[in-house]
Homo-oligomer: A and B are copies of this chain.
Amino acid sequence: MTKRSTTPSRSRREPGSIPPGLRLFAIPGLPEIRKGEDLAERIAAAARTEGLSFEGGDVLVVAQKIVSKAEGRVVSLVTVKPSAKAQELAAHLKKDSRAIEVVLQESRRILRSDRVLITETHHGFVCANAGVDHSNVPGDDMVTLLPRDPDRSAELLAAALHRKTGKRIAIIISDTFGRPWRLGLTSVAIGASRLPVLRDLRGTRDREGKPLTATILAAADELAAAAGLLMGKSEGTPAVIIRGYRFKPASEKAASIIRPADEDLFR
């Protein structure tokens, strides 16, 4: 195949029939975020500095870490008194009992404590250590917690960015979760605003015209995962713009991705 240009052209398609491409831009240069800071302003300013402008229909994926910091969801382990249960688990897991105590406080249920602590958070997310995390927090004894209500955090951010930019921007707040059966973490959506989080294709038909019976796509998780490709863990780009994703504005919550416990075959 001859290389025609670095940007593929699609001139042979009729206008309007062009299958949409996606573009993803990391927003670099975000400063360390502190409690009470205006995250929308910080993100807008960092984008502006880069010459990046938002467009209506963009999806902005923001790593949980900076949302938690802005909301003051940071705990100094120096202030934590581990319970007897935390001490017992910490001895077994060879972990800091104060960190375990924080995990227990953030959890409504422990699923596994054999090698790692897999818990169900008060939101209903199932993940390691209830999302309590040491990385990318200043100070040796500091941990971040997940936002208290990540869907609300997403909506507040969407509203603030709308005020600042005049653009309707959908928001996903992402975190990296592990999963059974497959190694490695992937970014998933823990908060969402102004986009459909699940794409229900039931009732539509496949290419052969056969009805699709059991096909609900976790679109918000796929958007989070796509953004995760540009976030890494240490790259300092906790905000990524996804442009060109076609969706109908919706007011679904990322909480609706949580599989109800009584329908879950593996909980």
Residues of A within 8 A of B (CB): 1-6, 8-13, 19-26, 28, 44, 47-55, 112, 114-116, 118, 125-126, 134-138, 140, 164-167, 176, 179-188, 198-199, 201, 204-208, 210, 212, 215-219, 221-223, 225-226, 228-230, 232-237, 241, 245, 256-259, 264-267
Contact = CB atoms under 8 A, between A and B. Distances in A.
Given A24-B226, A184-B218, 5 more contacts: A1-B53, A4-B51, A182-B188, A184-B198, A217-B228
Contacts of A233: 201, 204, 206, 212, 215, 217
Contacts of A208: 135-138
Contact of A49 (B12, B49, B180): B12
B236 A8 contact: no
A24 B26 contact: no
For the complex of A and B, 6 pairs with smallest distance between CB atoms: A184-B218, A226-B226, A180-B266, A225-B225, A8-B52, A126-B181
A233 B206 CA distance: 7
A237 B11 CA distance: 18
B114 A234 contact: no
For A225, A230, A232, A264, the residue with the greatest tally of chain B CB atoms inside 10 Å of its CB is: A225
Q: Dominant SS at the A interface?
A: loop
Nearest to A9: B51
15 contacts: A1-B44, A3-B54, A112-B265, A118-B265, A125-B181, A136-B207, A137-B208, A179-B180, A180-B267, A183-B216, A183-B259, A204-B233, A215-B233, A221-B225, A223-B229
A234 B222 contact: no
A182 to B, nearest CB: 5
